[in-house]
A and B are shown apart, each in its own frame.
Chain A
Amino acid sequence: MSLLKYESQVREPLVDGSKTYHDVTEDICKPVEAAPSRLWWIGFIISVALLLFGVVSLYEEVVYGTGMWNLNKTIGWGWDITNFVWWVGIGHAGTLISAILLLFRQGWRTGVNRAAEAMTIFAVICAGQFPIWHMGRVWMAFFVMPYPNTRGPLWVNFNSPLLWDVFAISTYFTVSLLFWYSGLIPDMATLRDRAKKKWAKLFYGVASFGWTGSTKHWQRHESLSLVLAGLSTPLVLSVHTIVSFDFATSVIPGWHTTIFPPYFVAGAIFSGFAMVQTLMLVTRKVMHLEDYITISHIENMNKVIVLTGSIVGCAYLTELFMAWYSAVKYEQDIFFKYRIAGPYGWSYWLMMTCNVITPQLFWSKKLRRNIAFTFLMSVVVNIGMWFERFVIIVSSLYRDYLPSSWSVYYRPTIWEVGFYLGSFGLFFTCYFLFSKYFPVIAIAEIKHILKKSGESFKEAMDPLEEQTVEEFAHDHVHAH
């Protein structure tokens, strides 16, 4: 019966090696149960050190104000909002992989979805820091919530894209967390039932919520995953759309464009997949998970990168065309005098090189399947995407309508750079803890696809391939 769960031989197996269910459990749980390696400690300590540097930088900012970041009246959004958009963008890949690819029935998502979702959550946590601390008087951050207050009550402005952002980011964070954790519960139960040490029994026991694997619970779990995927799909698209509204609904030349939502969403997926690649390539190597995150997984993600990179490139060119075609003097000046040329011209061309030109190399299958090249490209893409946000924000601000308020050059201070490095510290501290104490691959989901997409089951399909239609029908068609 199970032989008839047929999958084409053209598709590469999603799980290499002839594995049984128990092998899958072993392979994924082993690194979690082993003591942390020296490499892990080094990485973890560096991350915590960066995080602490970020805390010191934030202390400076909170005590002395946002002026510590070199922001001025003209360039009011600098590295901080650039970093915010960059991290939010990175935080799009996880939910895209787990939600949209689930709806599209892309089996390969199972190898990478758990880690990608974790990455999403950590990236959104990092992103959230920037607008919050950018408020300056951060102790008043709760003013963004619509709560009955003693000032009237004076409500927040529901027409403001900045408030939409508050709702979008917090909803996205909550839903991603729920989606990720509901998927984790069965795998935590697997770890709980294997645990030998007392602390592990306690920790995984608490974290697995008393999961038993009952059929009824699985049935509800499947329904929950499917609906959460359905909800997350428009949510992913809405979040970066709303982030792009922060810019698009203003009247600043270079921001006031209608292509921003799709352009930002494509950019977000682009950078998110690049970050997934960066993390996955290291994780699979260090944790010996090459059988689960195979070259074909990497190639698939590279295909998404080349597609979204091309969409982003198309958007850049459209912007230039529309600036010229609109015949609006300010638009034309921003794009042709101050963006692709002028003191910030170098950042525009860096962005173009990293985001549009180099990803085109991924049209070559050989390069798509080359691990070292993929790793290099994943870093290049994220540098490019950081510069994209920097170009959009700073090059539109530094020379606006009034030449008297032009700001010649904006340089971040060590405290603004420190805040950015601190967000890396936060991100990697979380990721290191996750990869050590949580199953980085969705164990139950891998077992679910094992019998149709695992290598041994592909091989079992070989004799079927040799058969003629008559033989196949004779063997497998039963009269009902």
Chain B
Amino acid sequence: MSVKKFVVGCFDDEKTLFPAVKNSRKAGYKIHDVYTPFPVHGLDHAMGLRETSLHTAGFIYALTGTTTALSFMSWVFTKDWPMNIGGKPHLPLPAFIPIIFELTVLCSAVGMVLTFCYLSQLAPFVKKDHFHLRATDDLFVMPIEVTEKTNLEEVKSFLQSAGAVEVFEKEAETGWWVGRYDSDKKMFEKEEIVTA
């Protein structure tokens, strides 16, 4: 969670984006992220991201739902308050299936969505720095992090030659903060040093 400096390259076609990603990795540039208006298949692999394990989490949540429903209903009907309903068995497994199934689905779905929001820092009133407003419209935006070793001009000319339609420098906060999009308040305001 800190303010960093980036050189941002904006592409308007996947055809130029993929080679650009590949070549910047080859050149050793540190790709901060690529912001795209829609899911571009294969981009995660091109960037060398690992597979998400969100679905594994979903499976675990599902199992939690299954066991909760089964154990709770069994406990109620056999231990807590066994009822004789027309002489039917106290543990009618087939009759438990609908609720077990529903709770499995419910826990998995709710758990996965919450995990997704947590991992991706998504919530109402969460604000983040955006590199380009058209990243949610028609541009593929690739910020490259500037370190002390980076040669700014070299990165810029690299991005331009890779087919970027726009190249610019930007300082951006990499974390998130509580804020609203109709006001410009930042997490940390730069303090002006007033000298007497």
Binding site for B on A (CB under 8 A): 1-2, 20-22, 25, 146, 152-155, 157-159, 161, 163-164, 167-168, 171, 174-175, 178-179, 182, 185-186, 189-190, 192-195, 198-199, 201-202, 204-207, 209-224, 226-228, 231-232, 234-235, 238, 242, 245, 443-445, 447-448, 451
List A contacts of B12 (CB < 8 A).
Answer: 21
Instruction: Give A225's nearest chain B residue, CB to CB.
Output: B39
- Of B58, B77, B123, B127, the contact of A158 (CB 8 Å cutoff): B77
Say which residue of A161, A164, A216 sits within 8 Å of B49 (CB atoms): A216
Q: Is residue B188 within 8 Å, beta carbon to beta carbon, of the partner chain?
A: no
Which A residues touch B165, using CB under 8 A? none
A155 x B81 contact (CB < 8 A): yes
B136 at the interface (CB under 8 A from A): yes
Q: Using an 8 Å CB-CB cutoff, how does the interface string of B131-155 with A read, 1 for contact, 0 for none?
A: 0011111100100000000000000
In B85-122, the 8 Å CB interface with A consists of 85, 88, 92, 95-96, 98-99, 101-103, 105-106, 108-110, 112-113, 116-117, 119-122
Chain A residues touching B, majority SS? helix
**What's the nearest-Cβ distance from chain B to residue A125, in Å?**
17
Q: Which of A168, A198, A211 contacts B98 (CB 8 A)?
A: A168
Interface residues as binary, B34-76 with A (CB distance below 8 Å gives 1, 0 otherwise): 1111111001100101011011001000100000000011001
Flag if A210 contacts B121 (CB, 8 Å).
Answer: yes
B176 at the interface (CB under 8 A from A): yes
- Chain A residues with CB under 8 Å of B37's CB are 21, 25, 186, 190, 213, 443-444, 447
Interchain CB contact under 8 A, B36 and A174: no
* Complex contact B52–A171 (CB within 8 A): no
Residues 166-190 of chain B, each 1 if its beta carbon lies under 8 Å from chain A, else 0: 0000000000100011100000000
Q: For the complex of A and B, list the 7 residue pairs with the smallest distance between their C-beta atoms, beginning with the closest.
A: A205-B181, A210-B126, A21-B138, A209-B122, A201-B182, A444-B38, A164-B98
The answer to whether B134 touches A193, judged by C-beta atoms less than 8 angstroms apart, is yes
A223 and B127 contact, Cβ closer than 8 Å, known pairs A215-B43, A234-B101: no
Indicate if the CB atoms of B138 and A22 lie closer than 8 Å.
yes
Minimum CB distance partner of A157 in chain B: B85
A215 partner, pick from B44, B130, B181, beta carbons under 8 A:
B44
C-alpha gap A207/B125 in the complex (Å): 8
The distance from the CB of B155 to the nearest CB of chain A, in whole angstroms, is 19
From A2, A205, A211, A447, B182 is in contact (CB under 8 Å) with A205
B120 near A154 (CB under 8 angstroms)? no
Contact of B106 among A163, A164, A171, A444 (CB under 8 A): A171
Q: Other CB < 8 Å A-B pairs besides A215-B43, A231-B108, 19 of them?
A: A21-B12, A159-B92, A174-B109, A179-B109, A193-B133, A195-B181, A201-B181, A210-B126, A211-B122, A213-B35, A216-B49, A218-B44, A219-B39, A227-B58, A227-B112, A228-B112, A234-B101, A235-B105, A448-B38
For A206, give its contact among B33, B35, B77, B180 (CB under 8 Å).
B180
How long is the Cα–Cα vector from A20 to B14 in the complex, in angstroms? 13
Q: Are A155 and B76 in contact (CB under 8 A)?
A: yes
Query: Which of A20, A152, A175: most chain B CB closer than 10 A?
Result: A175
Residues of chain A lying within 8 A (CB to CB) of residue B122:
185, 209-211, 217
Question: Could you name 22 residue pairs across A and B whose Cβ atoms are closer than 8 Å?
Answer: A146-B76, A155-B80, A157-B85, A159-B88, A164-B99, A164-B102, A171-B106, A182-B113, A186-B37, A189-B136, A202-B182, A206-B124, A215-B34, A216-B44, A223-B52, A223-B55, A224-B54, A224-B116, A231-B62, A242-B98, A444-B39, A448-B39
B15 at interface, CB cutoff 8 A: yes
Which residue from chain B places its CB closest to the CB of A25 in the assembled complex? B137
Identify the B interface with A (CB < 8 A): 12, 14-15, 18, 33-40, 43-44, 47, 49, 51-52, 54-55, 58, 62, 72-73, 76-77, 80-81, 85, 88, 92, 95-96, 98-99, 101-103, 105-106, 108-110, 112-113, 116-117, 119-128, 130, 133-138, 141, 176, 180-182
The answer to whether A21 and B81 touch across the interface, beta carbons within 8 angstroms, is: no
Chain A, Cβ-Cβ closest to B43: A215
**For residue B137, which residues in chain A have a CB less than 8 angstroms away from its CB?**
21-22, 25, 190, 193-194
Tell me the minimal C-beta distance from A356 to chain B in angstroms.
30
From B106, B125, B180, name the one whose CB has the most chain A CB atoms within 10 angstroms: B106
The reply to whether B54 and A220 contact each other, CB–CB distance below 8 Å, is yes
Please indicate the chain B residues that have their CB under 8 angstroms from the CB of A194 in the complex.
133, 137
Most buried by A among B37, B62, B77, B134: B37
> Most chain-A CB neighbours within 10 Å: which of B77, B98, B125, B176?
B98
In Å, the complex CA distance between A228 and B35 comes to: 24
Q: Collect the chain A residues with CB atoms within 8 Å of residue B109's CB.
A: 174-175, 178-179, 228, 231
> What chain A residues lie within 8 Å of B182 (beta carbons)?
198-199, 201-202, 205
The CA of A219 and the CA of B96, in the complex, are separated in Å by: 36
* B40: chain A residues within 8 A (beta carbon): 215, 218
Residues B138 and A210 in contact, CB atoms below 8 Å apart: no
Could you tell me if B127 and A231 are in contact, using CB atoms closer than 8 angstroms? no
Chain B residues near A161: list those with CB within 8 A: 98
Given A22-B138, A206-B180, A213-B136, A218–B36 Cβ distance below 8 Å? yes
B76 nearest CB neighbor, chain A only: A155
A215 touches B112 (CB 8 A): no
* Contact A167–B136 (Cβ < 8 Å): no
Residue among B15, B38, B77, B137 with the highest chain A CB neighbour number at 10 A? B38
A1 touches B34 (CB 8 A): no
Nearest-Cβ distance from residue B182 to partner chain A, whole angstroms: 4
- Residue ID in chain B nearest A209 by CB atoms: B122
Contact flag A215-B116 (CB < 8 Å), given A159-B92, A167-B98, A210-B121: no
A207→B124 contact, CB < 8 A: yes
* Closest residue on chain B to residue A446 by CB atoms: B38
Q: Shortest Cβ distance from A65 into chain B, in angstroms?
A: 29
For residue B77, which residues in chain A have a CB less than 8 angstroms away from its CB? 158
A183 to B112, CA, bound (A): 14
Residue in A201, A210, A220 whose CB lies within 8 Å of B176? A210
